[in-house]
Amino acid sequence: MAATAAAELLQRHGLAGDIMEASFDQLPVLHSFGVRLFDLFWRTHFHEDRVCEFHFIRHGKLRLEFTSRGFEAGPGDIVIIPANTRHCDKFDPGREFEVFMASFSWGPAEVPFFARLPGPVVHVQNDEQRGRIRQTLEGLYLGANRDTDFDQLLCRSIFHTVLLSVLKITTGQSSGDSSAEQLSAADKKKHWLIAEVKRYINRHFQQQITLDDLSTFLGVSQYHLSRIFNEESGFSLPEYLTMIRMERAKVLLSEGRLNISQVAYQVGYEDSGYFSKVFKKHFGQSPSSITLSQPARRV
């Protein structure tokens, strides 16, 4: 029954079909949600969270900085940051700055979800769409009572609707969204290029992918590809490849069917020792800590 309801929700948002991931019908886990006045520490220090972050800016302006790129966001914009991503939230402490803020996990849906976003900041140009998202978040904030399991399930379902709405906007599937028509030819080409790079990496991350492979496949220069991807997504190509590999590795380790060496090979690492170092740097914990935390599988 839950799967049917989720499928109907996908259909209602125009996201059903073979281009959508089956994992999108799963409800996200909502770890926290509320209205936040940012701590000054976040403004002056790079930090990261082990779960994903969602911000809908109610008042004020934000400059989101990664190690290699910065992004501007203002009222009505949505900021979504992948788990374990170092960033700094720069805002003017002398001016009002307020956001709806959520921390969430979406299991296997996280990788395809972020692969479909144009970057960490989603500019919602359509006033009607922006109003609907804000109204949904206000309803979640004002009406949420998480004392019972039913209330928690309802909150997750409402936030699920928000994430699907973001996907609908960014994939240009809204009949009321005219912003896609206003994009210049150069912008459309950039968006196409980013989408194709992410699609290629998602399909071939188990292999040894090189910049030369990507540039040859897409028919562009290595310099142009690196520059555009870095500027538009906020990640370098190696950083994005590592993120995809690490998220898949975490899923495989959690399933408990493969040992660490086998998981390393499955996600494109021939040296399990090096894989373990990258994994610990990315998640702040070793692969063995994931496997040890899982219950023993019955034979």
Question: Is there a contact between 99 and 137 (Cβ–Cβ < 8 Å)?
Answer: no
How confident is the model over 250-262, as a mean pLDDT? 90
CA neighbor of 229 nearest in space, from 239, 216, 243, 219: 239
> What CA–CA distance (Å, rounded) separates 273 from 93?
44
Question: Is there a contact between 170 and 116 (Cβ–Cβ < 8 Å)?
Answer: yes
In a domain, 245, yes or no: yes
Average pLDDT of the chain, as a whole number: 81
In a domain, 87, yes or no: yes
Domain housing 240: 183-289
SS3 127: helix
In a domain, 117, yes or no: yes
Whether 187 and 282 share a structural domain: yes
pLDDT at residue 167 tops 70: yes
pLDDT band of residue 290 (cuts 50, 70, 90) is: confident
Res 174: pLDDT? 42
Question: Is there a contact between 252 and 206 (Cβ–Cβ < 8 Å)?
Answer: no
Whether 9 and 55 share a structural domain: yes
pLDDT band of residue 146 (cuts 50, 70, 90) is: low
Q: Which helix (H) or strand (E) holds 35?
A: strand 29-36
Q: What are phi and psi of 81, to 5 degrees?
A: -120, 125
Query: Structure pTM?
Result: 0.61
pLDDT at residue 73 tops 50: yes
Looking at 179, 194, 220, the residue that finishes a domain is 179
Question: Two tokens at 12?
Answer: 């209602």
pLDDT band of residue 176 (cuts 50, 70, 90) is: very low
In a domain, 268, yes or no: yes
Res 47: pLDDT? 87
What is each CA distance from 128 to 17, 131, 177, in whole angstroms? 25, 5, 9
Looking at 136, 157, 179, the residue that finishes a domain is 179
Q: In what order do the strands lie in the sheet with 98-105?
A: 29-36, 98-105, 52-59, 78-81, 121-122
> What's 161's domain CATH number?
2.60.120.280
User: According to the per-residue pLDDT averaged within each range, which of 6-10, 32-36, 110-114 is highest?
Assistant: 110-114
pLDDT band of residue 184 (cuts 50, 70, 90) is: low
pLDDT band of residue 143 (cuts 50, 70, 90) is: low
Question: Two tokens at 19?
Answer: 């281009």
**How many structural domains are present in the chain?**
2
In a domain, 258, yes or no: yes
Within 10 A of 55 (CB to CB), how many other CB atoms are there? Answer: 22
**Exposure letters 83-92 (e unless 16+ CB within 10 A, then b):** bbbebbbbbe
pLDDT at residue 105 tops 80: yes
- Can you point out the beta strands (E) in 156-216? none
Within 10 A of 251 (CB to CB), how many other CB atoms are there? Answer: 16
Res 293: pLDDT? 59
DSSP 236-291: -HHHHHHHHHHHHHHHHHHHTSS-HHHHHHHTT-S-HHHHHHHHHHHHSS-HHHHH
In a domain, 75, yes or no: yes
Res 97: pLDDT? 80
Whether 25 and 91 share a structural domain: yes
Q: What share of the chain has pLDDT > 90, as a percent?
A: 24
Whether 136 and 218 share a structural domain: no
Of residues 176 and 33, which shows the higher confidence score?
33
pLDDT band of residue 56 (cuts 50, 70, 90) is: very high
In a domain, 294, yes or no: no
Question: Is there a contact between 56 and 78 (Cβ–Cβ < 8 Å)?
Answer: yes
pLDDT band of residue 294 (cuts 50, 70, 90) is: low
Whether 164 and 39 share a structural domain: yes
pLDDT band of residue 298 (cuts 50, 70, 90) is: very low
Res 38: pLDDT? 65
Q: Which of 9-13, 18-22, 115-119, 212-216 has the lowest mean pLDDT?
A: 9-13
Q: Which helix (H) or strand (E) holds 1?
A: none
Question: Is there a contact between 79 and 42 (Cβ–Cβ < 8 Å)?
Answer: no
Whether 19 and 81 share a structural domain: yes
pLDDT at residue 265 tops 90: yes
pLDDT at residue 282 tops 90: no
Res 217: pLDDT? 84
Res 20: pLDDT? 57
Looking at 146, 179, 212, the residue that finishes a domain is 179
CA neighbor of 102 nearest in space, from 139, 55, 63: 55
Which residues, other chains included, contact 18 with Cβ-Cβ below 8 Å and sequence gap of 6+? Answer: none
